[in-house]
């Protein structure tokens, strides 16, 4: 299945030949405090969060192992509907970022805790327009809030984390409200689970799931919630 995304494979091989520079962050999680400001208790049974942090395979894979998450769909956000496909997004001209729409039960996990996992283990928020071996604005670190409340929580949390100096560099995550989400092609869904022997997944993404297990044991679930079971619409 890796041949379906030759850009990722070539980027990984080039990085390995260069001595592996830029890949170390994929294996490291960072322990960070929860947000001081979190969302208000929700009355709804479900909420959604839309996050971008490099290749959506890994971000999706991480959140599929989080308790309280009922679905995590890989897709695109930041651009127009007509360009929301892998071929065009890969051109780095559409404004889209590879993103994941996370549906979760706010009675089990808050939006703030979702962001804590996002910043801690799902990606490196200090890398500008790249993530590991993948380069381009489509791999940027971005939060697409679906409400003013989410935008406030995200902005406050970024400021809080920058003040802690726990990251070696400033956080470059952008907050981009009022952006639609478009699901990615079927072959991108559940990719980490379906391709555990992929070189890209082994090197870049499985360590993130292990970091989730180590840093957030109370929130970790062994059996991932899969799109093929939950459905695209959730």
Catalytic (active-site) positions: 55
| Structure tokens, 52 | 């971008």
Kindly tell me the number of DSSP H helices and DSSP E strands found in the chain: 9, 8
Between the alpha carbon of residue 188 and those of residues 8, 156, 202, the distances in Å are 13, 32, 16
Collapsing DSSP to helix, strand or coil, 75 comes out as strand
Q: Which residue has the tokens 């559409």?
A: 94
* Residues 211, 213, 215, 219, CA torsion sign: positive
Instruction: Report CA 26 to chain centroid distance, whole Å.
Output: 12
Secondary structure letter of residue 227 according to DSSP = H
Residues 6+ apart with CB under 8 A from 153: 35, 37, 38, 39, 111, 112, 115
Element (H, E) at 141: strand 141-143
3-state helix, strand, coil in the chain (%, to 5): 40, 15, 45
| Structure tokens, 67 | 């308790």
């Amino acid at each position: 299945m890796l041949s379906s995304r030759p850009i990722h494979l070539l980027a990984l091989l080039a990085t390995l030949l260069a001595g592996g520079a830029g890949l170390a962050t994929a294996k490291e999680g960072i322990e960070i405090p929860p947000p001081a400001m979190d969302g208000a208790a929700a009355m709804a049974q479900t909420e959604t969060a839309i996050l971008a942090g490099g290749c959506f395979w890994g971000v999706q894979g991480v959140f599929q192992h989080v308790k309280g998450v009922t679905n995590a769909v890989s897709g695109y956000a930041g651009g127009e509907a007509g360009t929301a496909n892998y071929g065009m997004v890969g051109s780095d001209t559409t404004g889209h970022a590879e993103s994941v729409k996370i549906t979760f039960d706010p009675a089990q996990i808050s939006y703030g805790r979702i962001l804590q996992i996002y910043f801690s283990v799902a990606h490196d928020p200090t890398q500008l327009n790249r993530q590991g071996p993948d380069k381009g604005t489509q791999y940027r670190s971005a939060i697409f809030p679906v409400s003013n409340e989410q935008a406030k929580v995200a902005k406050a949390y970024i400021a809080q984390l920058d003040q802690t100096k726990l990251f070696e560099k400033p956080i470059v995550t952008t907050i981009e409200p009022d952006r639609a989400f478009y699901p990615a092609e079927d072959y991108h869904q559940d990719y980490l689970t379906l391709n555990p022997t992929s070189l890209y997944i082994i090197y870049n993404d499985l360590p993130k799931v292990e970091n989730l297990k180590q840093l957030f044991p109370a929130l970790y679930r062994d059996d991932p919630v899969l799109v093929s079971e939950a459905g695209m619409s959730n």
